Structure 1
């Protein structure tokens, strides 16, 4: 392979993560050294519906691709067009993996040397505020037209690469990028070393797959490459068998450990990988219920149910439910006896809660007491808020987020660096819907307990960006 032949590539896709991302457009520009020699660009029929939020971002809709060639119709041409060239892209792993997966779906192997203009720019043009394509082009005066279309982004990346080639006198930096040094490891027999070299050192999830591309293990990591290698360094029997059965490794960067945890849980729930520990969920949940007793007093109690509710305020342990009931009793000056915290007593005598106003002894009027109970019940429903947890994205300037609506986990998304978010609703086009479960509830609650509310933005807050 000649290292001075480059194929600068940008792809547009349907979105959908590792398993569902299909090509909708591709542009390739060939360079011999610093000179452009050829160009190929085409819409691609993804053979699936393009989501509305993707159309809003790229402008590519289902009608535009209806008569475009399907990938299998142009695969051989693309393969030959870039044969012998270094695969170059801005954030190269995304474009490379999309194209590799398209070839893989056809039963074809796709391997190329890769060069990332994001990482190369950080090395050769240090100190910039952002290395997203839009911000980078603005910083160094590269024209960028027709943003988020393959040809427009590729043309800008070509100019960027030409500038970088001139900055790298003698080509020492680029040569080092094309021959990366990685830790030595005894790799399982079916995994090419290139797949290990391709792994990023970023937060995200990784998937071990067998020869039939079936997921046999899903994991999350702060550093994907380091975590994957740790499986192969581990000499335990289960790790050995995992390595022996693995033929492919896929990954998805998230920028956020929270999203990595949520994605890991989702893959385990959907695919039941044989080497993952089964996710157990409780067989009982607890609710705070209310009823009117013989005196006309609204009484609170704990109710047990076998129905698993997915709200982040569902109680999955009796202790947690009792703790909330005690808090309501304290905060609203309720009676421990009528909150079922004491039984078989004529009047309350709780060891800790001492603020009862006398409903149990006839001092407080029933109507006055019931008004307080209704406020306590209302407080439970208003706690089920709609809010966003904001985290860092996959690259500088990008923002990731997790959406909770009415107390229920909705999904996650990534907001590009150039986007201007001025209202809560403007996050939703970037949202990738996910199913709430007991485990997502646990993950989000654990995050909030550990991190607090510093990254949380509630719907009623006016400034979102």
Structure 2
């Protein structure tokens, strides 16, 4: 077999190539080499310049990728693409070819994963630290030729190991998991993932949660991240050193668990729903004239709210609906501020409490009737869900319209009163995202 052992340098976030080095290797000897700087036609960030020493002046007269594309195709043709953390280099090169409308397909091997199998026991499998442990000279770290040349020596050392033939054959098997797993993730960790519903945690090498997801089939969903070609997914997978999970029994509870986990860990790769939504509660109070006002109050800890929303738009729509139904005054529902009497563009059914044409008593009775109806819409609901095992059931508890949490209970346990379920409840916080999740399951009055 012929291998092309490759390293690239890029601009970082925009992932344009600035340098490439390719060593064609027959297992014993380097039989060809191609190394070149590349003009990325984009600004090279300062932190990349500090790491690699490659700046825009250095690449100003370098060829564009399209100028050297054919040389890369020729030297890698009918070879196995080898790199340390191969998916990064492979996808970076593949992305450049894609911009030219050329499909780049090569078999590939990852020297990170290979070294974990053939050279076990090292604390770190980064190229620099591994070369130091193995006394491999690495001249020109973070430059394509220096890293590629060191990878050749590392690869040759692995070829000499007693189990090399079997391991290489396994890694090159299309059906092998090894080719798709993140370089820092032990195969045993992936194989331990369940095929049931729940949530999963991607963690970096330091154990920090960097992504939380939910799935009906955890193992299948996790594997889909490894196959993804998006830069976001590739960056996340490259950082992943461990994966943890929690089973849920059902997709609905998995959604609730996912929301809580994201808001607890704030993972860097979860861009959606990381921020805990601001609560806006509808409250009532009486002014000096004795008129009862309905108003919104910002905050998650408002005592005894009439109802709570998670956007001012929803608050306004709710108050407008109450005004229209009960002929309330927009001024005293705080839909209009700093006016002596209401003049709302849409709500015109105020009976004149703001103009002295309706008694305070009559108006307050309408407000109290509206508050009573809203308060009585708050229902107690127990949603039953599938448990994590065949011997278990799950439930979701909603009390007075507020989500309290979920729980799991063995089927053999007898429950006669709803209150008895509280012993099994795993308390959770209510928020706008939870309301959206539960809305299809709850009948609104």
TM-score, with normalisation over the residues of structure 2? 0.51
Closer/same/farther in 2, CA of residues 206 and 354 from structure 1, 3 Å limit: same
Closer/same/farther in 2, CA of residues 185 and 452 from structure 1, 3 Å limit: farther
Which residue of the partner structure matches residue 391 of structure 1?
385
Closer/same/farther in 2, CA of residues 344 and 227 from structure 1, 3 Å limit: same
Which residue of the partner structure matches residue 370 of structure 2?
376
2:443 paired with 1:449: no
Closer/same/farther in 2, CA of residues 182 and 258 from structure 1, 3 Å limit: farther
Which runs of no fewer than 5 residues in structure 1 stay unpaired? 1-180, 457-465
Which residue of the partner structure matches residue 232 of structure 2?
238
Which of structures 1 and 2 has the bigger CA Rg? 2
2:275 counterpart (280, 287, 303): 280
- Using the alignment, how far apart are the partners of 1:241 and 1:343 within structure 2? 50
CA displacement at 1:228 relative to structure 2: 0.2
Spell out the pairing of 1:51-450 with structure 2 (5 A cutoff).
Answer: 186-277=180-271, 279-282=274-277, 285-293=279-287, 295-303=289-297, 305=298, 313-342=307-336, 350=344, 352-353=346-347, 355-360=349-354, 362-396=356-390, 398-434=392-428, 436=429, 440-450=430-440
Q: Give yes or no for contact 1:185–1:232 (8 Å, CA) kept in 2.
A: no
Q: How many residues are treated as equivalent by the alignment?
A: 269
Q: Give yes or no for contact 1:299–1:339 (8 Å, CA) kept in 2.
A: yes
- Using the alignment, how far apart are the partners of 1:420 and 1:322 within structure 2? 45
CA displacement at 1:358 relative to structure 2: 4.6
- Using the alignment, how far apart are the partners of 1:279 and 1:344 within structure 2? 37
- Using the alignment, how far apart are the partners of 1:292 and 1:430 within structure 2? 41
Q: Give yes or no for contact 1:182–1:197 (8 Å, CA) kept in 2.
A: no
- Using the alignment, how far apart are the partners of 1:380 and 1:185 within structure 2? 58
Which residue of the partner structure matches residue 71 of structure 2?
none
User: Deviation digits for residues 7-49 of structure 1, max 9, x if unmatched?
Assistant: xxxxxxxxxxxxxxxxxxxxxxxxxxxxxxxxxxxxxxxxxxx
DSSP 3-state at the match of 1:264: helix
Closer/same/farther in 2, CA of residues 422 and 354 from structure 1, 3 Å limit: farther
Q: Give yes or no for contact 2:324–2:349 (8 Å, CA) kept in 1.
A: yes
- Using the alignment, how far apart are the partners of 1:420 and 1:290 within structure 2? 42
Q: Give yes or no for contact 2:384–2:396 (8 Å, CA) kept in 1.
A: yes
Closer/same/farther in 2, CA of residues 191 and 346 from structure 1, 3 Å limit: closer
CA displacement at 1:269 relative to structure 2: 3.2
User: Deviation digits for residues 425-462 of structure 1, max 9, x if unmatched?
Assistant: 1212221233x1xxx412331123333439x9xxxxxx
Closer/same/farther in 2, CA of residues 349 and 247 from structure 1, 3 Å limit: closer
CA displacement at 1:322 relative to structure 2: 0.9
Closer/same/farther in 2, CA of residues 237 and 361 from structure 1, 3 Å limit: closer
Q: Give yes or no for contact 1:301–1:340 (8 Å, CA) kept in 2.
A: yes
Which runs of no fewer than 5 residues in structure 2 stay unpaired? 1-174
DSSP 3-state at the match of 1:207: strand
Closer/same/farther in 2, CA of residues 313 and 271 from structure 1, 3 Å limit: same
- Using the alignment, how far apart are the partners of 1:433 and 1:196 within structure 2? 30
- Using the alignment, how far apart are the partners of 2:442 and 2:402 within structure 1? 18
CA RMSD of aligned residues (A): 3.6
CA displacement at 1:368 relative to structure 2: 2.1
Q: Give yes or no for contact 2:306–2:375 (8 Å, CA) kept in 1.
A: no
